[in-house]
Structure 1
Amino acid sequence: MQANDGAASRIVLAFSGGLDSRVLLHLLGRFQTEHPDVVCLAVHVHHGLSRHADDWAQQCLNWADDAGIACRIERVTLQLGNRLSLEQQAREARYQALAHHLRPGDLLLTAQHADDQLETVLLALKRGSGPAGLAAMPEAMAFADGIHLRPLLDCPRDELAAYAYRHGLEWVEDESNQDERFDRNFLRHQIAPKLAERWPGIRKAVARSAALCGEQEALLQELLADKLNAALAPDHSLCVAGLGSALQGKALIRQWLAGQKVRMPSKAQLDQIWESVVQAREDANPCLKTEGYEVRRFQQRLYRVASWPELTDSRIPCSLGTPCQLPQDLGSLTLSPAANGCLRLPRADEPVSIRFEPAGLHVQPLGRVGKRKLKKLFQEYGVPSWNRRRTPLVFYGEELAAVAGLFVVSGFEGRECDLKWHN
């Protein structure tokens, strides 16, 4: 195997220490013995949720050493009490940690099996998912800088257990796997066994259905690819006029969001985006908030923007010549002496600060006649509503001197200072 940059690709195993990944570690050890030129690495993610977590990490190190495979421990911290479920948080933290170990061309192996696939489809049905959700887990997909493979997806758990017993393997038992308050555990212990008892071929049948849903979803993406490209703007916004009918439009919005690697909205949220954002009157400022981002419309385009807390009370001191770091990924702003700048120097009694609250400000941009509300000026300059309280306002003392990236206020012009906003 060769990575894109010419370096040898590696195989990275997500190694929890449970039965499934323990079997995969053993198989990977055998593979590496036969192919010593392939570099293999096991990564154990330590969630810290169990009192046995440290012991499991040590066991994983020992078993990886026995298999002749290097092992790394990745510790993650979960925000207990967060709106996201503990299962969802743990999964997202786990994959973020694994992504750090993937270089271009690497393969990530995870040990999901046929029983896991059955549970995933049942959970998707419970949520009311469409074809994309019912496609469940693919055997191979792009992930981070590499490829994510699930080589055991056709194997039922009892076959993995038989393999483990045959080879004398030990594994860790996570006590949380018995807690039926978690939906997946409830399905695993109460529902899936009854389904398999009644219909022994249920795993394979569900896997076929998932594969068919995956094919339908791939076909839909292929058929809509040209329409999506035509509706996309260079800034990754989506042209409302190019969405077409409600059915096509909602499918295009899903693909647009999927391309931005954000959590998919539910059907109800997607309906709201269409009805309350896309279909809102032209002079409205519509917005749908979901987990981690917002969908907004501005000048007949849809934008996906991050959700941030208000900066209303922020007041950041700014020193001449020193980059001022701004909050919330807004970059930095520098006010520096210059021979051919746009601002005058602040006086000794005019401490410079950066603020973000435009309410109540009436100013006259340089070169214009009369003062106007800053809110109205933002509209004239084409600043989207969600950025109007995220645009740095440069104050000399208690007077607004400039709006970064837009204009200098009349009365503060000069050639002694230059203002640069790097965002």
Structure 2
Amino acid sequence: MLYHDFSQFMAAHIQSPDTRCVLALSGGVDSRVLLHLLARYVRDNHCDAMAVHVHHGLSASADLWVERCRQWCAEAALPFQVEYIQLDTQGKGLEAAARQARYQALQQYVGEGDLLLTGQHRDDQLETFLLALKRGSGPKGLSGMAASMSFHQGWLIRPLLHRSRAEIEAYAHAHQLSWVDDESNQDTRFDRNFIRHEIMPVLLARWPHFPQAVQRSAELCASQEALLDELLQARYQAALQPDQSLSIRCLLECSDAARAQILRMWFHQFGHQMPSRAQLDNISHQVLQAKADANPRCRIGHAEVRRFGDALHYVPVYVDISDWRCPININHPVELPDGLGTLTLTERVVLTDRSTEKQAVFGLNQCCLSVPLQVIFNPEGLVASPVGRKGHHKLKKLFQEYRIPSWQRRRMPILISGQQVIAVAGLFVDEHFSGSDYELIWGTTI
């Protein structure tokens, strides 16, 4: 019966003969059963499939789990791949960090139209629902996990979502399957494990059908959330700008409730971490309604929502490189910090075709070599005279006039001699140094 339901579920989601099925194989009983089901389905239907195990390095048994998964895949005649990851727990708990890193590692295996299979079941749905309830989530959070959802270029599917843990374990025993047990699943310091071991047994003893009721509630919440999105789609599209920012004017025309939902739609569409209610209130009342010349921001995980001009932008929290500086010489590329590429000062090459290169090029005259040059990123206190402008202007004012967002102003390389600005890469050359003898090439874009 379980294989029959699995086969129907897969047939409903495989849209092309080229669809690849990628199993997230942890080695636990859920994914172990999925491996058994998928291997049989592949034999019956000749579809493309593989399994990927993500090695978190959190358990002393992690290397053993890799070998067990490799052996099971060999027996099932399915390709097997291991992804080794390191967790970044800054700003989040261990469970959340592991989940995020795991899905990031799995993304590279999911091409257009491919399916990522994960082993969550009905008991997991109950745990997720209770965790969302504990956090005070609204309909979106209480929707829990969907049986299928878009993921990277394909889809994430959960074929076992309507099956209980007991049913899955019964299948494993019936087919004499072995699996690994993660000792951390017994640690009730983790909220999910506390619910699983301390709360769920009490609930199920009193109300045996509680998981089915939670599943219905989760589906109703998902339906209500989908309806909200449908009704607000026109307003959302009107607010969404070509650069993926949101129009402040459009947002301010909405009611508080509609504005909050549009913001959630924005976060969801681009895969950003969903804000809490307090963060939504901060965005709505502090960031949106700040003065036009203010620099408000709302931190959400490793990113910020910031205002620039008439729009809200979602930007990473960048490393502060204000104090970074480096000498630069002719034909010696400088490696810029924090992934900003290279900056090169070179003799001009005539008729060079750079149509396919991702770089910004500016011409300089010989005066630029009369003194030692440095590259910096801190514009504070500096002035310049861009070509075509009269007089000296503070870089702060020039950045405003060139409409450079505040978070990018300390990420644009500044070529200086002493306190004299020679050029701001990607933006302008000072009129005293403009020419055609040399080229300043920034091998990236901001």
Shift of 1:287: 1.0
Q: Deviations over 1:59-103 (max 9, x none)?
A: 1111122222222121111246x3321111111111111112222
Query: What's the counterpart of residue 158 of structure 2?
Result: 150
Aligned ranges 1:1-400 → 2 under 5 Å = 8-35=18-45, 37-79=46-88, 82-243=90-251, 244-321=254-331, 324-338=334-348, 342-345=363-366, 350-396=371-417, 399-400=420-421
With over 3 angstroms needed to count, the CA separation of the structure-2 counterparts of 1:170 and 1:254, relative to structure 1, is same
2:363 aligned counterpart, secondary structure:
coil
Which range moved further: 324-333 or 355-364? Answer: 324-333
TM-superposition CA deviations, 1:189-244 (whole Å, max 9, x none): 01111111111111111111111111111111111111111112222211111112
- Alpha-carbon deviation of 1:349? 5.0
* Matched-pair identity in %: 49
CA contact (8 A) 2:415 2:423 kept: yes
In 2, Cα distance between the equivalents of 1:216 and 1:407? 51
For 1:226 and 1:348, how far apart are their aligned partners in 2?
A: 56
Give the drift of 1:397: 5.6
- The answer as to whether partners of 1:337 and 1:345 remain within 8 angstroms in 2 is no
Tell me, yes or no, if the aligned pair for 1:104 and 1:146 is still in contact at 8 Å: yes
Does the 8 A contact of 1:112 with 1:150 survive in 2?
Answer: yes
Aligned residues: CA RMSD: 2.1
| SS of residue in 1 equivalent to 2:91 | coil
The aligned counterpart of 2:353 is: none
- 2:382/2:420 contact within 8 Å kept: no
Q: 1:363 to 1:53 in 2, by over 3 A?
A: same
Give the structure 1 partner of residue 438 of structure 2: 417
Give the conservation status (yes or no) of the 8 Å contact 1:349–1:397. Answer: no
Alpha-carbon separation, structure 1, partners of 2:298 and 2:119: 37
CA distance change for structure 1 residues 131 and 84 in 2, over 3 Å: closer, same or farther? same
Letter in 1 for 2:50: L
CA contact (8 A) 2:381 2:394 kept: yes
Q: Deviations over 1:325-346 (max 9, x none)?
A: 4333434444333378632135
Q: 1:386 to 1:131 in 2, by over 3 A?
A: same
Cα distance, 1:7 vs. partner?
7.3
1:317 deviates by 3.8
CA distance in 2 between counterparts of 1:412 and 1:292 reads: 39
Mapped contact 2:422–2:429 kept (Cα < 8 A): yes
Unaligned stretches of 5+ residues in structure 2: 1-10, 351-361
**Number of equivalenced pairs:** 420
CA contact (8 A) 1:47 1:77 kept: yes
Counterpart-to-counterpart distance in 2, 1:415 and 1:398: 23
- 1:196–1:202 Cα contact (<8 Å) kept: yes
Q: Mind listing any 5+ residue stretches in structure 1 that lack a counterpart?
A: none
- Contact 1:324/1:333, CA 8 A, preserved across alignment: yes
